[in-house]
Structure formats: C-alpha cells, structure tokens
Amino acid sequence: MPPRTVVIGVDSSTQSTKAAFVDAASGRLLGVGRAPHVVHGEAGARESDPELWWRALRAAVAAGLKASGVAASAVTGIAVAGQQHGLVVLDRSGRPMRPAMLWNDTRSAPQAAALTEEFGGRDAWTARTGSVPVAAVTASKWRWLRENEPAVAASAAAVRLPHDFLTERLTGVAATDPGDASGTGWYSTATGAYDPVLLELLGLDAALLPEVAGTGGTRVGPLTAGAADALGLPATTAVAAGTGDNMSAAVGLGLGGAGLLDHPVLSLGTSGTVFAASRTRPASAALSGFAATDGTYLPLACTLNCTLAVDKVAALLGLDRDDASPGGEAVLLPYLDGERTPDLPTAAGLLTGLRHDTTPRQLLGAAYEGAVVTVLRALDELLGACGLDPADPGVAARPLRLIGGGARGRTWVETVRRLSGRPVIVPGGGEPVALGAAALAAAAATGGDPVTIATGWRTDEGAQLPPVPRDSTTWDRIGSVLERASGPLLGGF
C-alpha cells in the first residue's frame, strides 16, 4: 500500500485562520487547527495587521499537525483561501506599511461612488469588470489610501490581496488567481487580465501587482526554506496559487459551471453571501460578476451583516445565540456595519414595531429574520439578474446549500428554512472553504483538476432538510420596513 499523502487547505477569514489536514486520496478530514485574528476600527474602519495572519497561519498549521496526528513528511501540498477585497500594501522588504483595510471597511464609500461616476456609470463598470465599485472593492480602498495617506500609497512597493500576501510568504512568489483578482476592481473578467485603462484611472502601476496564475490550483512554487522551517513542513511541499474564500467554497462544494445556478449556495458567516457556478460570464450591476478560480464564473451577491451582527444583538440582550423565537411584530435590521446589499454603506441598525408584549427572545429572533431576509433578497436579485424568476416553482424548489458558521447553528438553519420555503442541504464536510483550498493544494501537488478532485471527495454531500411553508407574513413585514427605511437608514428614522 502506498504511503498516505496529506494536503493542507488554509481558510484565512476575517476572524480566524483554519488549517484543514485532508487525506489527498479520500478527502477525509483528518484534523483542523485554528488561530484567531484581531480586527480593529470604528466609524466604518475595519483593519487587521497582516503579520498576525502569518502568525495565525503558522499556529493553525502547528495545531492541525497535532490534532490530526499526521507526520509532517506526509504533507505534499498547501493552498490559502483568503477573505476577499482586503488592501495590503508592502514596502520593499515585503513588510506591511500599514494595517490591511478589510472588505467590510466602509470608509471608501465616497471613493466607490466617485469611481463609478468617473468611468461612465454602473453599466460601464459591469461590462468591463463584471462588478460595480462599492466600499468593499479593493479599487475603492486604493483610491481612499491615495487621498487620505498619499505618502503611503506613493511609496508602496507592492499591492496585495490577503491571500496573495500569505501565498507570497509561503513561496517568495508574487502570484494571485483569476477568482480573487476579479474582486479588486482593476481586473477585467472580459479579458482575463488586469485592465490598463482602469489601472490608469486608479493611478496604480501594474508592476506593483502579483502575476495572475492560470487557476487557483496552479503550482506557483514549493515552500521557501524559511517558510518550511516556520511551518515544520517539507521544503518540497507544493504551494498552489490559492484564491478568495467564496471561490474556494465553490471548489469545496464541487461547483464548476455544470449549469447556471443549478446549485445556489448561501454562506452564513461574518458576511452573508449567495453564489452559484456559471459557464456564462454574468454582466449585471445587481451583483458581483466574479470569475471562479477554475476558469468559469461565480455570480455572487454579498451582505455585510450576518452572524457577527446577530451575535452582537444577542450579547446586548444577554441571551445565548439560540435563545430566540420568531420576532412577532418587531423588525430589526442589523445593519451594524453599514450594508452592501442593499448598497447602504453608512447605514445603522434599525429597530421598529416594538410592543409592550415584545420579549427579548423575539428581538433576537427579529435580528435573525432581518439578516436572513436581507441575504435571501440578495439571492432573488442574483437569480433575476441571471434571467431566472425567483417565484417560478421550479426555481424555488432547488435546494439551497447552506455553509459557513451559521450552518452549524440551529436557529440560523431553521430561520433560513422558514423564510426561504426551500429544501436545505447542509454539506457534511463542514469546512467548504478549507476543503476547497485542500483540493487546490492537491491539484498543485498532482497536476489534477481541483473541482474533479473535490467531486471525487464527495464534499458536497449532506443531509437534505425538506421545505417548510414560506413565512410570507414576516417577509412582507420586513419588506415594508425596508422600502420605507432606505432613506432614513442613512440619516435617522
């Protein structure tokens, strides 16, 4: 029997790093190491020190080695999937010049609006990049940096995304992939390359950017001697180009453009995202028309406020996160970090409909409902933008694949079922982003196709929960508040 080979999939998210140790032949999850991140900021700012990501990656790999019982010599590949959109600026020694601006940093909303106007509006951007600039997009953050910290921008020797930064620490090679690059605002999904016209508009030299590898499973190098020593892994370990977290989750679920929106995915994490695979390049201002990491496309819509916002409401009420009941007449829109879908970057949370008999458990339930309706409305926008009617019985009957931290929460799952009226599948693997990164690592080590590898691992399988009747009353109540509040959310009710 040949010796077992192991690959490591790294999920470097907003809040933590996970390192999943996976049997390369079977896809069996052998162990997971974890390490926390620290996020700072107020008044719209959200920043992290990229050096902490590197230390967290090292700690997570060490913990994963211990948890899995794997011999380091068995590891043949590693890949990083990272939070999208973050802006990392480096000096000539490869050190961060300032904390990274994260995807949920909303300070660059005015710059996003200005860029949209300067380049001819939403349709012009969509045709060029597949997406319209919002505060989350890296291009908006680069414009903010040039306007607010011009000395830093002028002296930057390199500009990276979070996963690019970590891949470069592993290999010494400046490389990215089409998936994560498509979220920058300066990469064209129409041409599959950085867009020189947009780079000129942004005042960004292409020499500062990493090379775009073929796919996220492309081998960009072995570990450097220093990285191998820091991680305790063989220097021969293959390192994949990696990708963004959403693109990696798609790989981890075996999505590779088999059919437009056949398998819609709803991810409940710090943000709420909905996406699906497509072989057709989406071009709609209503969604993010990302590239997938395997050469197909990943139409996606994202909300800023999901599990973290609801946990904050639970903490304010002194309740456990599952100590909730349906919200009664109360509506709570937990837009604590502004909002991206709908595009309300300066929004605040809104509570209305209180009665004398409203209970704390109902208020927490209302927070769940507000977050879930927001992300389900984003799904409806995605479906409509791709030519599908969300109300069509055939479309509405397609199961939702539910992933992310919220997929492990009873109240999250039941709220999605009640408000969607759809069947729900919770994949059994539990870590689709990390498993997708592991498939990318296996592809880098073997030269195989990452989606085919993940499909062979059967990572998308899980229990299917039957549909329950859709709670139209709650939908209508929240929808009515959203219609009335889109203006007041920006300036007081």
Task: Please tell me the distance from the alpha carbon of residue 73 to that of residue 371, in angstroms, as a whole number.
Answer: 45
Residues forming the annotated binding site for substrate? Answer: 84-85
Res 261 pLDDT > 60: no
Does the pLDDT of residue 15 top 80, yes or no? yes
Query: What are the beta bridge partners of residue 402?
Result: 266
At 20-43, the pLDDT tens digits run 999 999 999 999 999 999 999 988
User: Which of 45-49, 280-284, 309-313 shows the lowest mean pLDDT across its residues?
Assistant: 280-284
Residue 302 pLDDT: 87
Instruction: Please tell me the total number of residues recorded for the chain in this structure.
Output: 493
Condensed to tens digits (0 to 9), the pLDDT of residues 289-335 reads: 899 988 888 988 889 899 999 999 999 999 999 999 998 899 999 99
Give the architecture-level CATH label for domain 6-246.
2-Layer Sandwich (3.30)
Q: Does the pLDDT value for residue 239 go beyond 50?
A: yes
Q: What is the SS3 assignment for 167-215?
A: HHHHHCCCEECHHHHCCCCCEECCCCEECHHHHHHHCCCHHHCCEECCC
Instruction: Say which residue, 207 or 342, is predicted with more confidence.
Output: 207
Confidence band, pLDDT 50/70/90 cuts, at residue 207: very high
Please tell me the predicted confidence (pLDDT) of residue 414: 97
Phi, psi of 48 (to 5 degrees): -140, 150
Q: First and final CA of the chain: distance in angstroms?
A: 69
Tens of pLDDT along 210-232? 999 988 899 999 999 999 999 99
Instruction: Specify the pLDDT at position 493.
Output: 36
Residue 487: per-residue pLDDT: 54
Of 166-170, 255-259, 415-419, 442-446, the one with minimum mean pLDDT is 255-259
At 332-366, the pLDDT tens digits run 999 998 887 887 888 899 999 999 999 999 999 99
Phi, psi of 425 (to 5 degrees): -110, 125
DSSP collapsed to 3 states, the chain: CCCCCEEEEEEECCCEEEEEEEECCCCCEEEEEEEECCCECCCCCCEECHHHHHHHHHHHHHHHHHHHCCCHHHEEEEEEEECCCCEEEECCCCCECCCEECCCCCCCHHHHHHHHHHCCCHHHHHHHHCCCCCCCCHHHHHHHHHHHCHHHHHHCCEEECHHHHHHHHHHCCCEECHHHHCCCCCEECCCCEECHHHHHHHCCCHHHCCEECCCCCCEEEECCHHHHHHHCCCCCCEEECCEEHHHHHHHHCCCCCCCCCCCCEEEECCCEEEECCECCCCCCCCCEEEECCCCCEEEEEEECCCHHHHHHHHHHHCCCCCCCCCCCCCEEECCECEECCCCECCCCCEEECCCCCCCHHHHHHHHHHHHHHHHHHHHHHHHHHCCCCCCCHHHHCCCEEEECHHHHCHHHHHHHHHHHCCCEEEECCCCHHHHHHHHHHHHHHHCCCHHHHHHHHCCCCEEEECCCCCCHHHHHHHHHHHHHHCCHHHCCC
Distance, CA of 84 to CA of 304 (rounded, Å):
13
pLDDT confidence of residue 2: 59
pLDDT-derived band of residue 477, with 50, 70 and 90 as boundaries?
A: very high
Pairwise CA distance, residues 369 & 309, whole Å:
12
Joined together, the tokens standing for residue 31 give 């162990």
**pLDDT tier for residue 271 given thresholds of 50, 70 and 90:** confident
Q: What is the mean pLDDT of the chain?
A: 92
Q: What is the pLDDT of residue 264?
A: 87
CA distance 193 to 210: 11
Q: Above pLDDT 70, what percent of the chain?
A: 96
2 DSSP β-pair partners: none
pLDDT tens, position by position, 163-184: 999 999 999 999 999 999 999 9
pLDDT at 491 over 50: no
396 pLDDT band (50/70/90 cuts)? confident
| pLDDT of the residue at 316 | 97
Q: What integer pLDDT is reported at residue 492 of this predicted model? A: 37
250-289 core/surface letters (b: 16 or more CB in 10 A; e: else): bbbbbbbbeebbebbbbbbbbbbbbbbbbeeebbbbbbbb
Feature table: binding site: 84-85
Out of 180, 245, 294, 337, pick the active-site residue.
245
pLDDT of residue 342: 84
Identify whether 326 is preceded by a cis peptide bond (ω within 30 of 0). no
- The pLDDT of 61-79, averaged and rounded, is 97
- 245 is annotated as an active-site residue: yes
